[in-house]
Amino acid sequence: MIRKIPQSGSSQGKQAAASAPGTPALAVKPALEIYDTTLRDGAQAEDVSFSVEDKVRVAQQLDGLGVQFIEGGWPGANPKDIEFFRRIKAVPLQTSTVVAFGSTRKASNAVQDDQNIKSLLDAETSVITLFGKSWSLHVTDALNISLAKNLELISDSVAHLRSKGRRLFYDAEHFFDGYKTNPDYALETIRQAVAAGAERVILCDTNGGTMPWEIKEICEVVRRECAVPLGIHAHNDCEMAVANSLMAIETGILQVQGTINGIGERCGNANLCSIIPNLELKMKRPVLGNRLSHLKRVSGFVTEIANLMPNTHQPYVGDSAFAHKGGVHIHAVLKNAATYEHVIPSLVGNRQRMLLSDAAGRSGLMEKVEAYGIKLDKDHAKLQELIDVLKERESQGYQFEAAEGSFELLMRKAMGTHKPSFQLLGFRVIVEKKQDQGAMLSEATVMVKVGDVVEHAAASGAGPVNALDHALRKALEKFYPQLKEVKLLDYKVRVLSADRGTESKVRVLIESGDHKDKWGTVGVSENIMEASWQALADSIEYKLLAKDL
C-alpha cells in the first residue's frame, strides 16, 4: 500500500514525527549555547564596516533572536570597540550576554602591565573570550617564541583575568591544524587554559581547511582529554563550516560559534542562519527558545546594516529558499508543499513564493492571480493573455520576482480593472556641476494630469532619481495626501547588456514602503532615468490602488 507523505507541519505529519508507542525515550542532551561573533569576526569581512550605532542595533537584534552570547569586539584593537562596550552597558538585553574578545599577553609584557589584558578588563563584561596559539607553527613562526613560553602566556593570561572575577572562554586558535601537526602540544595548550580557570575551550578551525571526518575524530579525542565543556569555531574556506560545526555538536560539543549570514574574513565564518535551523528542525536541539521564526528578519537586518547585497539563494532565510519557478514544481507544491519543501518556511520566518517568470505555468500564475482576489478559470482567455505579456516583458529584461507591485499593476491592466491615478505629461531632470570641488546639483520638473487638473512641480534632490521622486510626490500630494507616508527604501540598478557599454539596457528595482507595507517595482530601458521613472511611477500607482476590484 502506498501512503501519501504528510505535509510538513500538518497534524498528520506531527503525529508521524512523534515516537511510536513503546519506543524508548531518547537521552536528554545538554542545552547548546549559541555564540555570535558577527560584530567581531563578521566585521572582518571584506566590504563590511559597522559603526558603533550599527553594532548596538545588531546586538539588540541578536538579543531578540535569543542567542546566548554576543561577542562585541576586541576592545584593545580600536576606539570603536571601546566605545561599543561603553554604550552597550546602558542597553537592556533580555537573553544575551555581551563578551569581550582579545589575545593572551605579549611575551615581552608582564600580564598585569599588558595593554590588551587591561583593555579586556576595562570593557567590564562578565565574560571574556581569550585566544591563544595551539599550533606550534604559529608559536615559532608568528610569535617567534618557544613552545614553553607560549604555554606560560596562556596560563598566566587566563589566571589573571579569572582573578579579576571574569568568566573565561578560551579560543584555541588553529587547534585542528595544531593537533594534526603536534597533537601532544595542542592538547597541552588547552590543559594549561583549563588549569588556569577557563570554563569553556573553543576548538577553532581558523584556516577553515579541516574536513568533517577529521573534526569528528579530533573532537572525540579532545572530549576525553578536556575537563570542561567544548565549543567549535569554524571558518568556511572549504565550504565546510556548517557541516563541521554540526559534526562537532554530534560528538557532544556544547557551544557553537558563528556569524549571521556567515560573514567573516576570507570565505567567511560558520553561518548561524543555517546552523540554528538545522539544529532545531533537523537535529531536534532547540537553542533559541521559540524565536526561530525571527531568523529571516535578523538575517535581512544584518545584511542591510552591513550594506551588503543579500544572498537570495541562502538556505532557510534567502528569498529563493522556498521559491518555485518550474511549472512541474509549482503544480506539485500547490497540491502538497512537502513535495519540494523540506521544512515549513514560516518556521524560520520565510515564505513560499511562486515565481513569476517565463518558466511559470498556468498553475503558478493562477495562484498569484487568486492571491489578488481575482477568480479565473484556468482556460480563461485573459489568463493566457497575461502569460503572454509576462513572457514578452521578461524577454525585454523585466524581472517581477522582486517587483510584485509592478506585477499586480501589470495584471490589473491585462484584466482591464486598472484606472490610472495620474497621467504623465512630461518630466525633465537637470544635473549640474559648477566647480571642480563643488557638489553636484540635481533638479527635476514634472508635469502630470489628475482628472482635468494639470499640476507642474519642481524639486531638487541628492541625485537625479531622488530629485525626480521628490518632484513627482510634490505634484501629487495635494491630490493624494497619503503619499506623504511613502518612503523609497532601496534603489538598485542592474546592467543587462554590458557588451554595449554606456548604451546598455538597465533594470531598475525600487523598494518602497509606508507605515504598514513594503512593495517592489521595476523599470527597464537603455536610459536609466526612463527605467527609474517606470519604477517610481509604479511605486506611486501601487500605493494608490483601490484594493477592492
Q: How far apart are CA 51 and CA 242, in angstroms?
A: 28
By the 8 A CB rule, do 136 and 182 touch? yes
Q: What are phi and psi of 128, to 5 degrees?
A: -125, 135
How far from each other are the two terminal CA atoms of the chain, in whole angstroms? 47
Helix (H, G, I), strand (E, B) or coil at 317: coil
Name the CA dihedral angle for 301, 305, 308, 309, rounded to a multiple of 10 degrees.
40
By the 8 A CB rule, do 354 and 364 touch? yes
Using the predicted structure, report yes or no on whether residue 15 has a pLDDT greater than 60.
no
Name the CA dihedral angle for 395, 401, 403, 408, rounded to a multiple of 10 degrees.
90
Using the predicted structure, report yes or no on whether residue 17 has a pLDDT greater than 50.
no
Q: Where are the domains of the chain?
A: 33-305, 323-388, 423-543
Can you give the pLDDT at residue 8?
Answer: 36
Structure confidence at residue 235 as a pLDDT band (50, 70, 90): very high
Structure confidence at residue 38 as a pLDDT band (50, 70, 90): very high
DSSP-assigned beta bridge partners for residue 98: 70
- The reply to whether 423-543 shares the fold of 33-305 is no
| pLDDT tens digits, one per residue of 370-409 | 766 667 777 777 777 777 787 788 788 887 766 888 988 9
Using the predicted structure, report yes or no on whether residue 29 has a pLDDT greater than 60.
yes
Read off the C-alpha cell for 267.
570565505
DSSP-assigned beta bridge partners for residue 495: 506
Q: How many contiguous H segments (helices) and E segments (strands) does the chain have?
A: 18, 16
For residue 198, give every residue at least 6 positions away whose Cβ sits within 8 Å of its Cβ, in sequence order, or none.
Answer: 130, 158, 168, 169, 170, 228
Q: What is the 3-state secondary structure (H, E, C) of 395-432?
A: HCCCCCCCCHHHHHHHHHHHHCCCCCCCEEEEEEEEEE
| Mean pLDDT, residues 311-320 | 94
Mean pLDDT (the chain) is: 88
280 secondary structure, DSSP code: I
Can you give the pLDDT at residue 498?
Answer: 58
By the 8 A CB rule, do 535 and 508 touch? yes
Tell me the one-letter amino acid at 249. I
Q: For the domain made up of 33-305, give the CATH fold.
A: TIM Barrel (3.20.20)
Using the predicted structure, report yes or no on whether residue 548 has a pLDDT greater than 60.
no
Radius of gyration of the CA atoms of the chain, in A: 28
| pLDDT tens digits, one per residue of 472-521 | 999 999 999 999 999 888 888 878 865 666 678 898 988 888 887 878 89
Q: How far apart are CA 392 and CA 415, in angstroms?
A: 17
| Mean pLDDT, residues 252-257 | 97
Q: How far apart are CA 523 and CA 532, in angstroms?
A: 6
Using the predicted structure, report yes or no on whether residue 7 has a pLDDT greater than 70.
no
Q: How far apart are CA 517 and CA 453, in angstroms?
A: 30
Can you give the pLDDT at residue 491?
Answer: 86
pTM of the model: 0.70
CATH of region 423-543, choose from 3.90.1010.10, 3.40.640.10, 3.20.20.70, 3.30.160.270: 3.30.160.270
Q: How far apart are CA 123 and CA 97, in angstroms?
A: 13
CA angle 493, 345, 410 (to 5 degrees): 45
Q: What are phi and psi of 310, to 5 degrees?
A: -65, 140
Edge to edge, the sheet with strand 441-450 lists: 423-432, 441-450, 453-461
Structure confidence at residue 353 as a pLDDT band (50, 70, 90): confident
